[in-house]
Structure 1
Amino acid sequence: MAGMAQVRPYRGIEAAERLDERRRRLVEAGLDLLGGDSAETDLTVRAVCSRAGLTARYFYESFTDKDEFVVAVFDAAVADVAATTQAAVAASPPAGQGRAGIANLVRIVSTDSRMGRVLFDVRMSNPVILRKRSDLGGIFAFLLAQHLASALRRDQTGRSNAAVHFVVGGVGQTISAWLAGEVDLSQEQLVDQLAAILGALDDPGLYFD
């Protein structure tokens, strides 16, 4: 329409692509700051923009405030883990899918320590991260409970719900302790141990009399 301003490409890159690229740089900077060796205890817009090499106006182009930004950083980390884990599970035979999922998760947090700290480090004090972790734990517990009900062909019980919450919390705590050097296992040994624990969930005696 004649009355609407046209946004021209800059150096051949469309405006939407430039916006996406700036947002990606900001989120990557946030992952560096929140998950770095000397993690920011008081994350600031200035620190994020300095790390990303952008001005504050570009921060507010994508995010209304710091809380929304931290949510985006956390969700990006989860999305990456979820996509690669789903692919690893889908590529494995049914008997090995649990191990494949755990192996991929451990590989990611071992390869990129920032991801491990943001997703699992119990020393993280950012309230938005803590809330997002709590929400995510509830989702994982729900999905695992559904998986068990389907695999065992039995309705969920109070015992099965207790077990899945125990496992979800336990896996997160174990990975956190491993990343902190408090669990003396190799990466392969950790995967074996967690896979064995998850494999034991297939025992109907855990949930039914």
Structure 2
Amino acid sequence: MESARPYGGVQAADRLAQRRHRLLQAGLDILGADSDLSALTVRGICRQAGVTARYFYESFTDKDDFVAAVYDWVIADIAASTQAAVAAARPRDRARAAMTNIVETIVDDPRIGRLLFGSELAYPVLARKRIQAGELMAALTRQQAIGTFEVSENENVKAAAYFVVGGVVQTIGAWLSGGVQLEPDQLVDLLAAMIDQLAEPSLYTD
């Protein structure tokens, strides 16, 4: 066990947090790389992070636990920044604010786009995490619709939320793979316009 005493003026808990962050960044480098996952081994992860395996196991039980943690870290960050962007926008601009934040985030850091939306990452843990993330995003979309249209949650609201999330995910995935060739601002315009077409309160009443 690592000593709890300060080392170089840094407390033990802070050193652990710093090492964990370096490992998560290494995971994003590997999982978000435009290549295969041959480096996705404990040894490869530690080499990328510049730590020994001992420090890997102080934060993660195994490789699957690590991959799940990387995904959760990235999705939590983009979900929080998107919610903040939506909350700061006028009601009529909320769809554009959300799409702008998502698209700009993955343009600024392509690793995030490949991790969250890339179709080439065939890894069982990521497949499961993407399903869970879709459920989270659908829940957030439902909350937004309920607040915007002042309706109670019902099956119409649920269906529309899944439609929006699924459509956005598939379209961004196709854009990243080259199946859809648009400039980032064009993609934002299109996604926002399509979501705005659903801004009809009668769709959400039983």
TM-score computed with the length of structure 2 as normaliser: 0.91
Name whichever of 120-129 and 90-99 sits farther off.
Answer: 90-99
Q: Report SS of the residue matched to 1:23.
A: helix
| C-alpha contact (below 8 Å) 1:177/1:183 kept by paired residues | yes
| C-alpha contact (below 8 Å) 1:41/1:125 kept by paired residues | no
Alignment match, 1:95: 92
| C-alpha contact (below 8 Å) 1:116/1:179 kept by paired residues | yes
C-alpha distance in structure 2 between counterparts of 1:7 and 1:135, whole Å: 36
TM-score computed with the length of structure 1 as normaliser: 0.90
Report the AA paired with residue 71 of structure 1.
Answer: A
After superposition, give the CA deviation of every residue in 1:101-153 in whole Å (9 maximum; x if it has no partner): 11010001111111001111122111111101101111221222232233222
Q: 1:86 aligns with which of 63, 74, 83?
A: 83
For 1:13-162, what aligned pairs fall within 5 Å after superposition?
A: 13-40=10-37, 43-162=40-159
C-alpha distance in structure 2 between counterparts of 1:121 and 1:130, whole Å: 11
Structure 1 residues without counterparts, runs of 5 or longer: none
Give the drift of 1:42: 7.1
C-alpha distance in structure 2 between counterparts of 1:205 and 1:127, whole Å: 40
Give the drift of 1:76: 1.1
| C-alpha contact (below 8 Å) 2:117/2:169 kept by paired residues | yes
C-alpha distance in structure 2 between counterparts of 1:42 and 1:127, whole Å: 16
Identical counterparts, % of pairs: 51
C-alpha distance in structure 2 between counterparts of 1:176 and 1:121, whole Å: 6
C-alpha distance in structure 2 between counterparts of 1:6 and 1:62, whole Å: 16
C-alpha distance in structure 2 between counterparts of 1:198 and 1:205, whole Å: 15
After superposition, give the CA deviation of every residue in 1:18-54 in whole Å (9 maximum; x if it has no partner): 1111000100001111110114157210110011111
Q: Report SS of the residue matched to 1:26.
A: helix
Q: Report SS of the residue matched to 1:154.
A: coil
When Rg is computed on C-alpha atoms for both structures, the one with the higher figure is: 1
Report how many residues are paired.
205
Structure 2 residues without counterparts, runs of 5 or longer: none
Give the drift of 1:17: 1.0
* Alpha-carbon RMSD: 1.9
